[in-house]
Amino acid sequence: MTFRLVDRGWESEFVDGLLQHPGALRIVCPFIKRRALARILSTRLPFLRVITRFSLPNFAEGVSDIQSLRLFLDAGGAVRGVHGLHAKLYVFGTGRAIITSANLTGAGLTENREFGVVTEDSAAVERCLTWFDALWQDAGNDLQHSQLDSWTHTLSNHLASSGPPSESGDLGDFGAVASFEPLPNSSPPPILADSPQAFVKFLGEGNNRVPLDCSTIEEIDRAGCHWALAWPAGGNRRPTGVEDGAVMFVSRLVKGPDIRIFGRAVALKHEAGRDDATPADIERRPWKAHWSRYIRVHHAEFVAGTMQNGVSLAELMNTLGSDSFAPTQRNAARGQGNTNPRRAFMQQPAVELSHEGFEWLNARLQTAFDVHGQLRRHVLRELDWPELPAHPEQSPDFTQDDFNRELLRMLDAGRQAGRPATRIVARDLHRNVVGGTEPNRFPMACDAMWKLWRQQGSIPENIVRTTESGRSSTIEIEFSTTHPARG
Domain, as residue range, for 369: 193-381
Q: Verify that 361 and 413 share a domain, yes or no.
A: no
Query: Is residue 91, in this structure, part of any structural domain at all?
Result: yes
Q: Verify that 257 and 114 share a domain, yes or no.
A: no
Q: Verify that 293 and 407 share a domain, yes or no.
A: no
CATH number, domain with residue 326: 3.10.590.10
Residue 367 predicted with pLDDT over 90: no
What pLDDT is stored for residue 487 in this prediction? 32
d(CA 444, CA 399): 8
Three-class SS of 405-431: HHHHHHHHHHHHCCCCEEEEEHHHHHH
**Alpha carbon of 267 to those of 30, 196, 243: distances in Å?**
25, 11, 7
Q: Verify that 418 and 334 share a domain, yes or no.
A: no
Q: Report which listed range, 124-128, 299-303, 372-376, is most confident.
A: 299-303
Q: Verify that 359 and 290 share a domain, yes or no.
A: yes
Residue 210 predicted with pLDDT over 90: yes
Q: Which of 84-98, 387-401, 427-441 has the lowest mean pLDDT?
A: 387-401
What pLDDT is stored for residue 169 in this prediction? 55
What pLDDT is stored for residue 442 in this prediction? 65
d(CA 276, CA 375): 27
Residue 462 backbone phi and psi in degrees, to 5: -120, 60
pTM for the full predicted model: 0.54
Query: Is residue 485, in this structure, part of any structural domain at all?
Result: no
- Please compute the mean of the pLDDT values over residues 223-235 and round it to a whole number: 90
Query: Is residue 272, in this structure, part of any structural domain at all?
Result: yes
Q: Verify that 212 and 287 share a domain, yes or no.
A: yes
Q: Verify that 300 and 405 share a domain, yes or no.
A: no
Q: What confidence tier does 472 reach under pLDDT thresholds 50, 70, 90?
A: very low
Query: Is residue 178, in this structure, part of any structural domain at all?
Result: no
Query: Is residue 391, in this structure, part of any structural domain at all?
Result: no
Closest CA to 229 of 152, 180, 312, 285: 285
CATH number, domain with residue 88: 3.30.870.10
Q: What confidence tier does 179 reach under pLDDT thresholds 50, 70, 90?
A: low
Q: Verify that 17 and 152 share a domain, yes or no.
A: yes
Query: Is residue 394, in this structure, part of any structural domain at all?
Result: no
What pLDDT is stored for residue 406 in this prediction? 82
Q: What confidence tier does 330 reach under pLDDT thresholds 50, 70, 90?
A: very high
CB contact at 8 A, 333 and 95 = no
DSSP per-residue letters across 286-347: GGGGTS-EEEEEEEEEEBSSBGGGSEEHHHHHHHHGGGGBHHHHHHHHHT-S---GGGTTTT
Q: What confidence tier does 11 reach under pLDDT thresholds 50, 70, 90?
A: confident
Number of domains in the chain: 3
In this predicted model, what pLDDT tens digit does every residue of 103-116 receive, in sequence order?
Answer: 998 888 888 899 99
Q: What confidence tier does 37 reach under pLDDT thresholds 50, 70, 90?
A: confident
Q: Verify that 367 and 419 share a domain, yes or no.
A: no
Query: Is residue 427, in this structure, part of any structural domain at all?
Result: yes
Q: What confidence tier does 455 reach under pLDDT thresholds 50, 70, 90?
A: low
Last residue of a domain, one of 323, 351, 381: 381
Q: What is the DSSP letter of 94?
A: T
DSSP per-residue letters across 420-485: SEEEEEHHHHHHHHHTTS-GGGHHHHHHHHHHHHHHTTS--S--BS--TTS--TT-EEEEETTSPP
Last residue of a domain, one of 348, 381, 414: 381
Q: Verify that 125 and 197 share a domain, yes or no.
A: no
Last residue of a domain, one of 107, 139, 170: 170
Q: Verify that 275 and 322 share a domain, yes or no.
A: yes
Q: Verify that 199 and 79 share a domain, yes or no.
A: no
Query: Is residue 390, in this structure, part of any structural domain at all?
Result: no
Q: Which of 70-84, 268-282, 425-439, 467-481 has the lowest mean pLDDT?
A: 467-481
